[in-house]
Structure 1
Amino acid sequence: MNHASQHAAHRAGHDDTDQAEILDLDAEVLAEHTASITAWLPVRTDPRHVVDLGCGTGAGTLALLDRFPGAEVTAVDASPNHLRRLREKAGAAGVLDRVRTAEADLDGAWPELGTPDLVWASASVHHLADPDLALRRVHDVLAPGGLFAVVELAGFPRFLPADAPEERPGLEERCHAALADHHARHMPHRGADWGPRLTAAGFTVEGERTITVNPGEEHAESVGRYALSGLRRLRDAAARFLAAEDLDALDRLLDTEGPRSILRRDDLAMRTERSVWAARR
């Protein structure tokens, strides 16, 4: 392996670990909101077989196993690291015997999924090169009368007040603005209205809702770690687009030993929304 390949492999592994950390924090901070979504799903009878597409480290899988105690879940993800962490969590929760994992790139060949009663896709469909093809594939594997739940975050959460940090107010919003064009090119389906696309794939959309995410005080420490992890990834992606003063201010926020560390702030609040579509075959 040449040096460039080694660097790319190291970066990919680093990204995978960073992403897993964010997914774990996501699960912790959004647990109540995820439970409210699974409780809302308009299932006709409790599903016996559930598929979690793009399962990450298992937030949805565990919520679905909790919501439907008679169900088994097939969890699909392209990352073996994510699937390993999911199995560890399922083992710790005593539900590993109800989980099957399948490593697969959803833009490629899909694994054998059987005939599930419920398919769940949280923050995964917008990553696909051809999401409309994926929606049709889900329609084809679902049992007649089965339900497909698509859950999406309205962009990456915001954490800092608008007037922060003191020396560079509005820094966080400028970082996101700097990446807007990049995201538009690389993730053109992010923020899509999935209702019409589900209808075009043959589904009947039976429910749609938007949930405002507002973690309580009990999650303050997790929100701080989430903000740190998210802003680190943001810095990696946005550094070349930012003014030097913004980059300096961002680095001060990310210096966990420094006096201006984001972990020392008491004014953080996670702000985002989740949109959910429930579609029937």
Structure 2
Amino acid sequence: MAHDHRHDLDVQADILDLDAELLAGHTASLIDWLPLAANPRRIVDLGCGTGAGTFALLDRFPEARVTAVDTSAEHLERLRDKAVQHGLADRVRTVQADLEGEWPDLGEPELVWASASLHHLADPDRTLRRVHDALAPGGVFAVVELAGFPRFLPDEAPEERPGLEKRVHAASERRHAEHLPHRGADWGVKLTAAGFTVKGERTIAVEVGRSHSEAVGRYALGGLRRMRQAVANVLSADDLTALDQLLDPGSPHSILRRDDLAVRTERTAWAAVPAGLG
């Protein structure tokens, strides 16, 4: 069981790293868009994973230090290793914490960044209020969410089972609706209810194609393998067979052999400040 848990975390970490690589330009554009009065020096990355946001923020704000918060010790270990490799260890502090429990000491950050993390919480509204109370005067809270897990195949592919990926995603979304009820929430409404004024909302379309074909293929393979585990019991036998052929690197139908892959999704960001201070 421990081995399976570690393997699942390693697979998730690999997917997070590929997400960071392939969506780096989109992350940078959202950071540049934030309504900051000055470059922040104290930043918190809530639900940092393996550090996609952490390193993008360090790159954009060279005088800043980032406190990276996550529940996973393994993810934080990988983040620290990358910080050392890039000579950034002195600018990163990691905090292992369950945001549903006791609130960690995060100081008074001037920017709090939460990307694809808040929808995992059972009570995100409480976390929004805690961020509100922790922000330094003039601080900004940035919430970023993906419109579901990315799609990779053209709508008509694979030719043997048209619409296969769409059905896999539909089954996955039904499962997430049960276990992650806040996925797809209107975070602008939630931020307002928590005492923030929303200064801006921005949605960007993401499509990363052949120029990153190798990484896109590995991202598609890892992501769809994780989705298969969740939806295998609700797919038809024919769909499951076709999916397994896509996920078999040795199959002539392997997703790694395709040249028509792209990462397709949307990201929406909300930038907010405590009400009355913006």
* TM category, shorter: over 0.9
For 2:164, give the aligned amino acid: L
Q: Of the candidates 199, 203, 209, which is equivalent to residue 210 of structure 1?
A: 203
With normalisation by structure 1, the TM-score equals 0.95
For 1:80, give the aligned amino acid: A
Do the aligned residues in 1 keep the contact of 2:209 with 2:262 (CA within 8 Å)? no
- Distance in 1 of aligned mates of 2:259 and 2:270: 35
Aligned match of 2:261: 268
Q: Of the candidates 17, 20, 25, which is equivalent to residue 32 of structure 1?
A: 25
For 2:65, give the aligned amino acid: E
Do the aligned residues in 1 keep the contact of 2:83 with 2:89 (CA within 8 Å)? yes
Residues 168-226 of structure 1 show CA distances to partners (whole Å, capped at 9, x for unaligned) of 11111111112232111101110111001101101111011001112253211111110
Segment of structure 1 superposing worse, 142-151 or 87-96: 87-96
1:157 Cα deviation from its structure 2 partner: 0.4
Q: Of the candidates 268, 271, 275, which is equivalent to residue 278 of structure 1?
A: 271
Identical aligned residues as a percent? 70
Q: What is the SS of the residue equivalent to 1:214?
A: strand
- Distance in 1 of aligned mates of 2:127 and 2:8: 25
Matched, 1:45 2:38: yes
- Distance in 1 of aligned mates of 2:231 and 2:210: 30
Q: What is the SS of the residue equivalent to 2:232?
A: helix
Aligned match of 2:81: 88
| Pairs within 5 Å for 1:137-176 | 137-176=130-169
Could you tell me which runs of 5 or more consecutive residues in structure 1 were left unpaired when the two chains were aligned: 1-6
Residues 106-162 of structure 1 show CA distances to partners (whole Å, capped at 9, x for unaligned) of 111122100000000000000000000000000010012100000000000011111
Q: What is the SS of the residue equivalent to 2:233?
A: helix
Aligned match of 2:171: 178
Do the aligned residues in 1 keep the contact of 2:199 with 2:273 (CA within 8 Å)? yes
| Pairs within 5 Å for 1:123-134 | 123-134=116-127
1:258 Cα deviation from its structure 2 partner: 1.4
Matched, 1:78 2:71: yes
Aligned match of 1:3: none
Residues 216 and 161 from structure 1, CA distance in 2 versus in 1: closer, same or farther, beyond 3 angstroms? Answer: closer
Residues 216 and 261 from structure 1, CA distance in 2 versus in 1: closer, same or farther, beyond 3 angstroms? Answer: closer
- Distance in 2 of aligned mates of 1:128 and 1:217: 35
- Distance in 2 of aligned mates of 1:15 and 1:177: 22
Q: Of the candidates 12, 20, 39, which is equivalent to residue 5 of structure 2?
A: 12
| Pairs within 5 Å for 1:237-276 | 237-276=230-269
Aligned residues: 274
Do the aligned residues in 1 keep the contact of 2:209 with 2:263 (CA within 8 Å)? no
With normalisation by structure 2, the TM-score equals 0.96
Aligned match of 1:4: none
Segment of structure 1 superposing worse, 79-88 or 172-181: 172-181
Residues 44-76 of structure 1 show CA distances to partners (whole Å, capped at 9, x for unaligned) of 111110000000000100000111111100000
What is the alpha-carbon root mean square deviation over aligned residues? 1.0
Could you tell me which runs of 5 or more consecutive residues in structure 2 were left unpaired when the two chains were aligned: none
Segment of structure 1 superposing worse, 153-162 or 208-217: 208-217
